[in-house]
Structure 1
Amino acid sequence: MKDSLIQSTDSAYSYPLLIKNLLQAPLVSAPDQEIVYRGDRRFSYREFAERVRRLASALTSLGVKAGDTVAVMDWDSHRYLECFFAVPMIGAVLHTINVRLSPEQILYTIDHAEDDVLLLNSEFLPILDQIRGRIDTVKDYVLLHDDGPVPDSHLTFSGEYESLLAAASTDYLFPDFDENTRATTFYTTGTTGFPKGVYFSHRQLVLHTLGVLAALSTPAVQGRLHRDDVYMPITPMFHVHAWGLPYIATTMGLKQVYPGRYMPDHLLELIDREKVTFSHCVPTILHMLLKSPLSRTIDLSRWKVIIGGAVMTRALCLEAMQLGIDLFTGYGMSETCPILTLAHLKPEMLDESPEVQADIRCKTGLPLPLVDLRVVSDGMENVSRDGRSTGEIVVRAPWLTQGYLKDHKNSEKLWEGGYLHTNDVATIDHQGYVKITDRTKDVIKVAGEWLSSLELEDILLHHPAVGEVAVIGQPDEKWGERPLALVVPKAGATAPVTEKAILLHMRGYADKGLISKQVVLLRVRFVEAIDKTSVGKINKVALREKYLA
């Protein structure tokens, strides 16, 4: 094929896709809109842009230059949002440190990312004290502090965040550079070994922003994000850029609310007081919010929530819908920036019953614009679009990580065959809706038949005395594997739950043909708590190690 490249006029501007360009529209359309921190600190977008310039000036005065790495350890805050912009806009790399990792894992990520400057919330000083003297790369520490006296620490700080900004110039001019420059790095929450570093360029983050914005703003009603919405993340900003929504909310000029540390009643009070209408979180966080008595006293009927990070159960969806919450699934991974699909309902589906709607809202969803998503067999052949045939989700999109940082072997495995492999097992139906049935490592093979651990968990959660549950495969000489249900009884249940009651509950579904008869081989074990990863997902690797040893 002969290319016919456009001719560029000498004076024409090529307009690289840089993060700085996401800030232009809100400064024109909504300069006085609010960005709120914890309900007691408020900044206009005009002030926000000035603070971004001041932060850039302060960092460069510390010696930060293009190609350096600036790390952040903070709760969700206006400061974090300023770092989302200022750090990559000067050509440096933003490393968002997962504060829920162990001190040893945090040390590994700091050294592996080669952090030059670390912005540190004073609440995390005890973590740094545990790894004192072992951080080799960091040259400067900047203190982030909210209230009260600063705890004692061995660290020497180059300054306090607000003081540095107050003394810095507002005249910083952000340069143009190649849009493929790395903008961010963060680390997947590894369940074995050390976490893997993923990274994204300015171009990828801008395209992800535009792609997700297009998907969220096109529905007529359900799950629609629009300029009158009030946005509050309930997914940590250290985790995949809080799913990229802060970039989208800023581009749209929305009122934004950053809650600091996640505490159920505090989050609900902010939703009520600041009139929050759009959020995102993992199922465990929503479950925690709905357990609070306060959730029954405030109006949640305006609240739209994307659920991701783990499969949303039908029981949780129906509970939220009863309170008027517009709940729907979003799917992606650390490696995918992250959003790939959204479970929006098509217009005719809005007339269906809550039960039918919940089935759709709990699906993985429809691929976003620019996302080439396939469900394939082991031979990379597309499975039938019948909603029953299963295969692995593989994907191409302009915002997928191009590899793991300094890890060629796992990078090639991730991209084997030219598609990014998710390791998620799914179906796809004739309307294009994808539904994850399990992770490839979590499917349970009983007498040659595959059982979905996620499907079993969903059915178990319909039992009124089950609070939480995780299902793993247990080796068995006769059957190959048997499902083992780890059950946390529901607090305040009218009667204690028993293994016999749970097995009768499961057999009822099997007798109706809703699940395989192999479920009669289920074993039940009652536990006080279920291990989770640092971002709230059920940690099945840890559970297998603990209960199958």
Structure 2
Amino acid sequence: MRALMQDRPLDIATLMRRAESTFGHKRVVTATVDGETVATWRQVVARARRLVGVLDRLRVPRRARVGTFGWNSQRHVELYLAVPASGRVLHTLNHRLFAAELTWIVADAADDVLFVDRSLIGVVWPLIDQLPTVRHVVVMDDGATTELPDDPRIHDYETLLADADADADADADALAPDAPAAPVVVDENDAASLCYTSGTTGRPRGVLYSHRSIVLHALLLLGADTFAISERDVVLPVVPMFHVNAWGLPYAAMLAGADLVLPGPAMSPAALAGQLSRHRVTFTAGVPAIWQGLLPHLAEVDLPDLRMVVSGGSALPAPLAQAWHDRTGVMITSSWGMTEASPLVACGRLATVHDGLDEPARRALLATPGPAVPLTELRLVDADGNPVDHDGRTPGELQLAGPTIASGYFGAEPGTSSFTADGWLRSGDLATIDAHGYVRIVDRVKDLVKSGGEWISSVQLEHEILTHPDVVEAAVIGIPDDRWGERPLACVVTVPGSVLDAAALRAHLTGRIASWWIPDQVWVLPEIPRAPTGKVSKVALRERYAARAHPPGAVDR
């Protein structure tokens, strides 16, 4: 027997209608280069509806990818709404990537239009001739004075929006002679947004989120045992909107009716501290490097309303958590997730079984990923694929399943090694899970370096290091860093008689890879340690670094 319930889609348009009708008076604040802008949710939704008309007039096809190079801003939120609500696919792009990777990602996604903050046009425009699918570049003026190219492909965001408003009842406009298309009907399982993972041993891979997965993920963030975002909150996502939908926070704030405060290009610690205090922020989220940078400024501001600070992207250092608690009274809450998981998978919390813990133990517990969020299932398996007990001690590979978890990659052949035969996502992390579902990450299966919440491929970095004429062998490992979580350490063997220092290697790598990939330290070794099979032993390198035991003849440069 089938149930007698309404079949209403879980889509972005539902969030827009709710914000407009119920929370239209609540605010969206954006920092700009020279100040701040303030709009209501009603105004933001109205502008997003006009933006749908702009996409129609630019003749952006349904299901086409619309790329964005933007900071956390009101205009970016408008794109978060208009693009998927109109049947297109929002493709947020990480402007910090190096040129070769950006051009490959845009080409792979076949982006039709790019929306670019003016302060970032210098990143995008030099690549434009390598982006054959891009027909238009729409510039969003964030207050920067960057000169714009004199090219017919360049459009101004506000001018297009004003034209769409003025010509809403007209039969035609200069960009498209035909009348605007009728409102599109979107299925909840249609693609809504696209985000590429960082490359590991190969190219980055696209994760294609549905309307349904985005709405469900936003609902999860409102849960009392996750982020507990409510109408009373003032939410400041420091996590970038160019990656994993800013952890879903703009959608969650809209759904709950919370005020949303966005840092725009004002990402300095002093500017962030000012926003936290000035707007009486109650909830904020970012990677540990952000909280480390803010530490010196906490004494300069009052944060009486701050109730939750979420950290993710890499492990939360205990001294950092304690320092924040000492200065604000707020215990930082750790989280764990993946691009393929929308991204939140687990969130730290204190359960009834922890009521007897003292303050340091409670702080330490919150610094771990915690249990899985609702609707997400976790399991551990050993190297042979056998289940591992959830005893809190035995590690296994962490695997995920649920309606907010990817089932494949955009453009990839089915059955990639990232997914099991029964459809679970392989995280690539080793973890333990205790009897109450609390996750602890033990190690990564692959030798990735996670710096500032972003992945660095050790294999790709090694390849670039080996292009230096004086390097004959190279191995990269991640080493702990108080600010960034991890940084890459380059271990190299050089041509006999040559002299290679860190400065020379860094100069060689500049322009070949993203600047933040470049190692700060270089070990010049007489040889790279190897396992009995002949493979490089990164375990041995990590052990030597932990003990600060340089191999005989090694030079630290």
What TM-score range do you get, normalising by the shorter chain? Answer: 0.7 to 0.9
Aligned residues: 467
Pick closer, same or farther for the CA change 1:348–1:377 going to 2, 3 Å: closer
CA contact (8 A) 2:398 2:429 kept: yes
Deviations 1:236-271 (Å, cap 9, x if unpaired)? 001100011111011111010111121111110000
**Structure 2 partner of 1:57:** 53
Structure 2 counterpart SS, 1:232: strand
1:375 to 380, 391, 394: 380
What's the CA shift for 1:412? 4.8
Percent identity of equivalent pairs? 30
What's the CA shift for 1:349? 3.4
Pick closer, same or farther for the CA change 1:326–1:25 going to 2, 3 Å: farther
Please give the alpha-carbon distance, in whole angstroms, between the structure 2 residues aligned to 1:34 and 1:443. Answer: 40
What's the CA shift for 1:418? 2.0
**Structure 2 partner of 1:185:** 194
**Structure 2 partner of 1:335:** 340
Pick closer, same or farther for the CA change 1:411–1:208 going to 2, 3 Å: farther
Deviations 1:7-28 (Å, cap 9, x if unpaired)? 78xxxx5211111101233333
1:25 to 18, 42, 63: 18
**Structure 2 partner of 1:227:** 231
| TM-score normalised by length of structure 2 | 0.77
What's the CA shift for 1:155? 4.2
**Structure 1 partner of 2:313:** 309
What's the CA shift for 1:334? 0.7
Please give the alpha-carbon distance, in whole angstroms, between the structure 2 residues aligned to 1:279 and 1:29. Answer: 23
**Structure 1 partner of 2:253:** 249
1:425 to 425, 430, 443: 430
Pick closer, same or farther for the CA change 1:43–1:420 going to 2, 3 Å: same
**Structure 1 partner of 2:104:** 108
Please give the alpha-carbon distance, in whole angstroms, between the structure 2 residues aligned to 1:350 and 1:314. Answer: 21
| TM-score normalised by length of structure 1 | 0.78
**Structure 2 partner of 1:37:** 30
Is the deviation greater in 408-417 or in 325-334? 408-417
Superposed, which structure 2 residues align to 1:435-454 within 5 Å? 435-442=440-447
The gaps in structure 2 that reach 5 residues or longer are 170-179, 450-476, 492-527
**Structure 1 partner of 2:494:** none
Please give the alpha-carbon distance, in whole angstroms, between the structure 2 residues aligned to 1:200 and 1:35. Answer: 24
Is the deviation greater in 314-323 or in 411-420? 411-420
What's the CA shift for 1:356? 0.2
Deviations 1:273-315 (Å, cap 9, x if unpaired)? 011111111111111111x3x2212123533111111111222
CA contact (8 A) 2:321 2:331 kept: no
Amino acid of the structure 2 residue aligned with 1:44: T
CA contact (8 A) 2:189 2:211 kept: yes
Please give the alpha-carbon distance, in whole angstroms, between the structure 2 residues aligned to 1:338 and 1:375. Answer: 19
Pick closer, same or farther for the CA change 1:409–1:155 going to 2, 3 Å: farther
2:7 to 6, 14, 37: 14
Is the deviation greater in 383-392 or in 408-417? 408-417
Do structure 1's residue 523 and structure 2's residue 527 form an aligned pair? Answer: no
Please give the alpha-carbon distance, in whole angstroms, between the structure 2 residues aligned to 1:342 and 1:105. Answer: 31
**Structure 1 partner of 2:351:** 346
CA contact (8 A) 1:329 1:343 kept: yes
Pick closer, same or farther for the CA change 1:60–1:284 going to 2, 3 Å: same
**Structure 2 partner of 1:297:** 300
2:264 to 251, 260, 276: 260
**Structure 1 partner of 2:244:** 240
Please give the alpha-carbon distance, in whole angstroms, between the structure 1 residues aligned to 2:21 and 2:264. Answer: 28
Superposed, which structure 2 residues align to 1:528-543 within 5 Å? none
What's the CA shift for 1:192? 4.2
Do structure 1's residue 161 and structure 2's residue 154 form an aligned pair? Answer: no
Pick closer, same or farther for the CA change 1:289–1:410 going to 2, 3 Å: farther
Amino acid of the structure 1 residue aligned with 2:205: K
CA contact (8 A) 2:331 2:366 kept: no
Superposed, which structure 2 residues align to 1:464-483 within 5 Å? 476=529, 483=540
What's the CA shift for 1:360? 0.7
**Structure 2 partner of 1:142:** 138
Please give the alpha-carbon distance, in whole angstroms, between the structure 1 residues aligned to 2:380 and 2:135. Answer: 47
Please give the alpha-carbon distance, in whole angstroms, between the structure 2 residues aligned to 1:61 and 1:335. Answer: 33
CA contact (8 A) 1:473 1:483 kept: no
CA contact (8 A) 1:329 1:362 kept: yes
CA contact (8 A) 1:424 1:440 kept: yes
Pick closer, same or farther for the CA change 1:125–1:351 going to 2, 3 Å: same
**Structure 2 partner of 1:204:** 213
CA contact (8 A) 1:321 1:354 kept: no
Please give the alpha-carbon distance, in whole angstroms, between the structure 2 residues aligned to 1:397 and 1:154. Answer: 48
Pick closer, same or farther for the CA change 1:469–1:406 going to 2, 3 Å: closer
Please give the alpha-carbon distance, in whole angstroms, between the structure 2 residues aligned to 1:274 and 1:301. Answer: 11
Please give the alpha-carbon distance, in whole angstroms, between the structure 2 residues aligned to 1:315 and 1:139. Answer: 50
